[in-house]
A and B are shown apart, each in its own frame.
Chain A
């Protein structure tokens, strides 16, 4: 499998150049760079290519284009408001507009801030998934035995989730890892479905994360009394829904610790 190993090197080399490797992988890669002459030469060549592309002359946007855009929008707007144009503007309407505008923009800001926080958690969870795919293996503990994975979590985390093996439902248990979300270490269980890896990250309960796609990965989240679960995978969202049903059905009632 020389070809696929080389492919993997090539991807890592590119990700390293682009600053997209996580610190641990980057560190490992730098050690290899120092020792492997051909990797080093390819790295230097990639940098010289980057230099060549980045120093290409860039055209400045012509002022005439900006003016054209402005007038095409004005035209668009006046076609929308022809009826309204016939009414004369009153100062009252104008004042109302200003107040209304202010209310809108402050609520937009609040929404953005709330969204930002949730978004942030989800992004971190997805980033954990992506990082794990770039690492040599996506888990810290490899085991298809839930009686190995669960105690491994229990030994490391204040709270740890149930770890059902869902091989019978098509989702084979691969192992577990600890991700860090915000400042908290959290348990992530890794499953395999066909050739796809699925990360299930378990967070404090009571968080709501909408179904979404980030960087091409589908995200599905649900909660029970103990955890908010976020499943991340490149599987289609229907498969994630199937996974959620299988997981919820299989996770036994919390044990008394």
Chain B
């Protein structure tokens, strides 16, 4: 039947239109989630295949968020499957640790004085290392915000979290990074 040929051609065209333009960004996201280039390649290839198979489900709203959602989810299942010691998920931690990380102050209730709040100078390698140490749920919101430069709404969609959670994770993640980079002295 020629109709299914058409559909097939169409799916490929849709894929080229929807997913392909975001490939460089997809690669960047995967790279920062996985922590290295070769894993990122595997993740992106797998995500591309998933996107192609699911292109019919694309709701014609936000191609960028849709594509990055697939990459993010692929990266997550990939990371869980090929878990290395260096990757920390929030659910690896005890309930108390999770609670502390997500909701409680990092420096206790002490308020820093303006003099204590120094600008930090860190080289790229140190920042990269600190970023890699963050639990994935914090790292992903920071990467989506700073590297992919997505807004809160899209980050919430991609990470499948309420916007309030995105906001608190961004804030926590940044505080964690600052603490990590401050400690190295």
A: which residues have CB within 8 A of B? 2-3, 6-7, 10-11, 13-15, 18-20, 37-38, 40-42, 44-46, 48-50, 52-62, 65-66, 68-69, 72-73, 76-77, 80-81, 84, 93, 96-97, 100-101, 104, 108, 111-112, 115, 119, 130, 133, 214-217, 234
Interface of B is mostly: helix
Q: How many residues of B contact A (CB 8 A)?
A: 68
1/0 contact string of B162-177 vs chain A (CB within 8 Å): 1111111011001101
Known: A6-B105, A56-B131. 6 other contacts (CB 8 A): A15-B167, A18-B145, A53-B146, A58-B28, A61-B24, A97-B5
Give CA–CA (A54, B73) in the complex, Å: 23
Question: Would you call B171 and A14 a contact (CB within 8 A)?
Answer: yes
Among A57, A72, A101, A216, the residue within 8 A (CB) of B161 is: A216
Closest 8 CB pairs of A and B: A216-B162, A41-B117, A93-B2, A37-B114, A61-B27, A41-B114, A215-B153, A53-B146
A42 to B167, CA, bound (A): 17
The number of inter-chain residue pairs (CB within 8 angstroms) is 163
A84 vs B2: C-alpha distance in the bound complex, in angstroms?
Answer: 8
Residues of A within 8 A of B157 (CB): 215
Q: Which residues of A contact B168 (CB under 8 A)?
A: 11
Q: Name B residues whose Cβ lies closer than 8 Å to a Cβ of A.
A: 1-6, 8-10, 12-13, 15, 23-24, 27-28, 31, 37, 40-41, 44-45, 48-49, 52-53, 60-61, 104-105, 109, 111-114, 117-120, 122, 124, 127-128, 131, 142, 145-147, 151-153, 156-157, 161-168, 170-171, 174-175, 177-178, 181
In the bound complex, CA of A97 to CA of B6 (Å) = 6
Given contacts A46-B174, A59-B27, A62-B41, contact A81 B119 (CB under 8 A): no
Chain A residues with CB under 8 Å of B118's CB are 45
Task: Please classify the interface of chain A as helix (H, G, I), strand (E, B), loop, or mixed, using the class held by over half of its residues.
Answer: helix
Contact A45 B117 (CB under 8 A): yes
**Residues B178 and A38 in contact, CB atoms below 8 Å apart:** no
The answer for the CA separation of A254 and B27 in the assembled complex, in Å, is: 57
Cβ contact within 8 Å between A73 and B48: yes
Q: What are 6 A-B contacts defined by CB distance under 8 Å?
A: A3-B105, A44-B119, A81-B8, A101-B9, A133-B164, A215-B156
